Amino acid sequence: MQNGLQSLRPAARLLASTSRHGQWEARRHASLGSPINWLRERLGPNLRKKETQQEVEAAKQQASEEGKRSLFETAGKTTQRAEKAARAEQAAKGVVHKYSTANFKISHRKLNMLGRQISGKPIDYAILQMQFSEKRASTRIRSMLATAKEHAVRYKALEESKLVVAEAWVTKGPKSLKRMEPRGRAHYGVRVHPDSRMHVVLKEGKTIAEQKAEERERKLKRIVSAGIVRENRPIRNPNPMWGW
């Protein structure tokens, strides 16, 4: 009988310890709540009410009055003002951007034809001229103009819509390649393979629309009425006598 009771004591102790552990776990979960519910509350989607545009503007106005505006808003406006001030200062100083091609194999006379074609033109119009030109060097000049335009806008802060090719000129290369050319009767000549480069100067000027408007105004001023309105302008090239 005693042996049977002794054999039951470890089982009773294990059952008691198990029951105590279960009670402690139950109390812990009862105090913290269900872990599934806790995860659902923490990680579940939280729907946020979308604010209207009026509410957003009112909040921004209140923040500006309290001096708690966002750093990005103030920095953006400050940057725009600084860019405008820099452009105005550069325009007053007459800032220009100079760019040129590398030396490549072409005659300076042939390249000068393209220089006369783009000189004095707006940058977009000059690029368009080179795009449809049949000259072999037009592709290289077009790439150079596009690069010069990007650099002028990025590094010199010039306004893209007002860029004009103010000047364009051509210079010879430092060294011309010379080769011997055989001739008749044991004679020979020297063939020169020339190379040259083109330089351009970009600056802010008048756009095509402004140029057309000025040209139209100039032509309208030259129109003289045929006697309907009394004119006080002098007659151009008057004849010394009557015309009949």
Helices 123-131 and 138-155: crossing angle in degrees, nearest 10, is: 160
In a domain, residue 233? The reply is: no
| Amino acid 222: pLDDT | 79
The answer to whether position 49 is within a domain reads: no
Does 239 fall in a domain? no
Asked whether residue 168 is domain-assigned, the answer is yes
169: in domain: yes
Tell whether 29 is covered by a domain: no
Domain with 104, as residue range(s), is 97-214
pLDDT < 70 stretches in the chain: 1-34, 44-50, 67-79, 87-88, 90-93, 224-238, 241-244
- pLDDT recorded at residue 14: 47
CATH number of the domain within which 186 lies? 3.90.470.10
- What is the pLDDT at residue 215? 92
Q: Is residue 149 part of a domain?
A: yes
What's the number of domains the chain is made of? 1
Instruction: Identify whether 164 is part of a domain.
Output: yes
pLDDT value of position 206 = 86
How many whole angstroms separate alpha carbon 162 and alpha carbon 206?
6
The residues pairing with 165 across neighbouring beta strands, listed in sequence order, are 202
